[in-house]
Structure 1
Amino acid sequence: MLKGAIAQRYAQALFELAVQENLDGIEAELQELVQCVEQNAEVAHVLYHPHISLSEKKDLMNKIFAGELSVTVRNFLNLLIDRRRQNYLLEIARVFARLADEARNIVEAKVASAIPLSETQEQRLHQELARMTGKNVRMVKEVRPELIGGVMIQIGDRVMDGTVAFKLQRIRQSLSHA
């Protein structure tokens, strides 16, 4: 089975449980768990090492996260370990966050510009994106000088490229085909 499909299935199951219990809390704990695994090589080693037994992994993870994670998230982690799916944790967390955003009617817009946007530009862009999508928008901004000028926006699979670099590329292409 594909990694994305596995992550989707587990994330969906946790999401459905989280909606019944505490979506915000479980999402925060899942992010905390992922952050700990990403930033702590010893925790990652224990979780991912193939020669550490499943029971040892569960015991160590339960000790590490005893006061940090709810029973729901600890049980979910134990389930992943039991089913040997702990390697999918990061992808599961990413899919879970997307599902939570969808439930909250939030869309993420990645905005790249050559220079930082002014406060006014950000507000206008935010309002326009909210109007276009009909959703609450979370903007993730990135400065990329190679864009020369303008803005490139990505929302899901959709990309709107209004950068000078893109326009120059199109001019080059049209001149080379002429």
Structure 2
Amino acid sequence: MVDYTPYAEALFELAQDSKQEIAWMSELKQVAQVITSVSELSQILAHPSIPRVKKKEIIQTAFESELDTTVFRFLLVLNEHNELSHLDKISDAYEACYRKRHRIEIVKVTSASKLDEDQLSRLKEMLEKKLNKTLELEVQVDPSLIAGIKVQASDLVMDNTLVAKINAMKEAINR
């Protein structure tokens, strides 16, 4: 598996210096989305027999006037290294750099029923204190949990669901 982090880190360092971290992340995501959603474009950029010069012309026509100059030049560098077709992965790696630098973590919250905004706000506040990070919650509803919530972060798993409690009771009985 190819690691696209070095490309992302290079652009991220420039973005930090220019104070454009979020703007450039947005531009990368938009270009990656265009490339992946237009199948002809993604096929052309990935095809090894299409010359880089032709790909460069396509990139210039499609994106030059729409992007920050540095982001556009970054696309040209990716093209020179035959990596432009992997912009979605590079964009994800850039976002990971941003999250790491700003101590932002995505936490998955699965609940048996829909949580209201107040419940989510209190949960987020409690978890941010516990983990000492800024969090973004990805919330899902799974009625099969019966009751309660399950929280999954990189450093923490809390399973306070009725299903988990029933399973723990079964294990205790079987010992």
What secondary structure, in the 3-state scheme, does the structure 2 residue paired with 1:111 have? strand
What secondary structure, in the 3-state scheme, does the structure 2 residue paired with 1:26 have? helix
**What TM-score comes out, normalization by structure 1 length?**
0.85
The whole-number CA distance in structure 1 between the counterparts of 2:160 and 2:136 is: 20
**What TM-score comes out, normalization by structure 2 length?**
0.87
What secondary structure, in the 3-state scheme, does the structure 2 residue paired with 1:138 have? strand
Out of 72, 78, 81, the residue aligned to residue 80 of structure 1 is: 78
Kindly report which structure 2 residues correspond to 1:105-116, keeping only aligned pairs within 5 A, or say none.
105-116=103-114
Which 4+ stretches in 1 moved above 6 angstroms?
Answer: none
Out of 116, 122, 126, the residue aligned to residue 124 of structure 2 is: 126
5+ residue gaps in structure 1? none
Greater CA drift, 143-152 or 58-67 = 143-152
**Do the aligned partners of residues 48 and 160 (structure 1) sit closer, same or farther apart at CA in structure 2, a change above 3 Å counting?**
farther
The whole-number CA distance in structure 2 between the counterparts of 1:171 and 1:38 is: 48
The whole-number CA distance in structure 2 between the counterparts of 1:44 and 1:143 is: 34
Pairwise CA distance, 1:46: 2.1
**Do the aligned partners of residues 114 and 67 (structure 1) sit closer, same or farther apart at CA in structure 2, a change above 3 Å counting?**
farther
5+ residue gaps in structure 2? none
Matching residue of 1:12: 9
Pairwise CA distance, 1:28: 0.9
Out of 91, 98, 101, the residue aligned to residue 93 of structure 1 is: 91
Pairwise CA distance, 1:174: 4.6
2:33–2:88 contact (8 Å) kept in structure 1: no
Matching residue's letter, 2:11: L
Matching residue of 2:139: 141
The whole-number CA distance in structure 1 between the counterparts of 2:123 and 2:76 is: 43
The whole-number CA distance in structure 1 between the counterparts of 2:41 and 2:155 is: 34
Identity, in percent, stands at 30
Out of 75, 86, 104, the residue aligned to residue 102 of structure 2 is: 104
**Do the aligned partners of residues 66 and 13 (structure 1) sit closer, same or farther apart at CA in structure 2, a change above 3 Å counting?**
same
Superposed CA deviations along residues 30-69 of structure 1, whole A, max 9, x for unmatched, are: 1111221232222222222233221111210221112221
What secondary structure, in the 3-state scheme, does the structure 2 residue paired with 1:146 have? helix
